[in-house]
Structure 1
Amino acid sequence: MSESLPVRLNRDRLHDIETRASFETTDSFAVMVHNGDAPVHVHLHLDDALSAVASIPANNHFVDADSTRQVGVEVEEGGPRPVEGQLKIVTGHGAETDYVSVTIAEPEEEEPVAVDETLAERSATPGDADDEEDAGFEFPTAALRQNGPVAVLGLLALAVAAGSASLADGVAVFAGSLAVLGSLVAAGYLLAR
């Protein structure tokens, strides 16, 4: 989903509408309705040009005080582009009306990635087995070199926590030691992944 279109209601006065003058997208988007201090009904309507390629599942929405409501605008894939039209925003059953000029632009084409036959070839790295029969488990020495200092510091922290827990007769020290142990277990798990 593209960037969202912010709409602020009831900011300065009841039924007040603040939004952008224009909005451009290439895909479906959300209208983020931020409401101030009074509950309000808001009506969202796409003009004929936008309705040809986009839709809003429901037009009328209740937005409670001091809350935000997300309203999705679904844009059809593969439809005509660019399309320009108006999104109409109405509050207070017609008390206030504002318009946003919406442009649904052509999506930018992504550059193709060149792929040749060398992608399928296996590159030889030091420590690789020559054939599948010899391809057993290898101890991850590179990972051990990278994570060894972290493991040593973890063991040191565990020793300090265990020593503190054995010397002090406090629940807080014991709970802190458990927290250190839990952190070390989580860190070990992340290092092993």
Structure 2
Amino acid sequence: MTTVPGEEITVHVSHEGPDTIAAATDSLEVRESFGIVLESHGGPAHVHCRLDDALDRVVTLENTNYYVEPPEETYVPVFVDDVDEPVTGRLEVSTGYGATATTVAVTVAPSPAGVEVDESLSRPREPEPEPTPLERIVAGVDSGTLGVLALGAVAIGTAAVTAAVVGGFVAFVGFLVVAVGVGVALVLLLR
């Protein structure tokens, strides 16, 4: 007995008397292969499965004729092709040489779009290089703060050059005033 994963349709054979047949559902939507379970409740019976034209293009039955004996179940595998758009049709299951039949509306829906995986996913990630000490310091400071630091460095440099060129005690005191002012500004800025 061949079985396929997925949905199943149960069809009761000879449940209400000889040559009677009834499906447990009147419709089914599938994306993959499914099965028909023929449950015999009375005497033995010949069961015929038939697909309408629309369904026959995308669905294949392993066999179309089955002999069902009570109390056994007979499994009918139904193979479904992949489709781009939904296909709806009818599956007819009959007994008594076609005298009685039940019909199930079957819709074959497209499978959800798969995820494409390329080779780069199989390679381990390369570790990021360790940041340099300067990069660690700069990463913790925003661009406005870096601008103020640069201006403070320019002010101290200018004061130092001026004190060196002019010379004397007053020039040195001017340099110290600029250096203390930049230091106070840095403390306030980085706080």
Q: How does 1:119-138 map to 2 (within 5 A)?
A: 120=124
- Whether 1:56 aligns to 2:61 is yes
1:85 aligned residue (85, 89, 94): 89
Indicate if the aligned counterparts of 1:2 and 1:29 stay in contact, CA closer than 8 A.
yes
Cα displacement string for residues 3-43 of structure 1 (whole angstroms, at most 9, x for unaligned residues): 11111111121122221110110011111111112100000
Q: CA RMSD in A?
A: 2.6
**Cα distance change of structure 1 residues 118 and 68 upon mapping to structure 2, 3 Å threshold:** closer
Aligned to 1:31: 36
Aligned to 1:45: 50
Distance in 2 of aligned mates of 1:117 and 1:8: 50
Distance in 2 of aligned mates of 1:85 and 1:117: 41
**Cα distance change of structure 1 residues 102 and 120 upon mapping to structure 2, 3 Å threshold:** same
Structure 1 or 2, whichever has the larger Rg, is 2
Aligned sequence identity (%): 29
SS in 1 for 2:97: helix
**Cα distance change of structure 1 residues 120 and 51 upon mapping to structure 2, 3 Å threshold:** same
Aligned to 1:13: 17
SS in 2 for 1:50: helix
Aligned to 1:106: 110
Aligned to 1:72: 77
**Cα distance change of structure 1 residues 36 and 116 upon mapping to structure 2, 3 Å threshold:** same
Read off the aligned partner of 2:71 and give its amino acid letter.
D
Stretch of structure 1 that moved more, 5-14 or 38-47 = 5-14
Task: Provide runs of 4+ in structure 1 moved above 6 Å.
Answer: 112-119
Indicate if the aligned counterparts of 1:53 and 1:80 stay in contact, CA closer than 8 A.
no
Q: CA deviation at 1:112?
A: 6.7
Distance in 1 of aligned mates of 2:122 and 2:106: 46
Cα displacement string for residues 168-193 of structure 1 (whole angstroms, at most 9, x for unaligned residues): xxxxxxxxxxxxxxxxxxxxxxxxxx
Distance in 2 of aligned mates of 1:42 and 1:117: 51
Indicate if the aligned counterparts of 2:18 and 2:43 stay in contact, CA closer than 8 A.
yes
Q: CA deviation at 1:115?
A: 10
**Cα distance change of structure 1 residues 117 and 100 upon mapping to structure 2, 3 Å threshold:** closer
Indicate if the aligned counterparts of 2:17 and 2:42 stay in contact, CA closer than 8 A.
no
TM-score (norm 2): 0.56
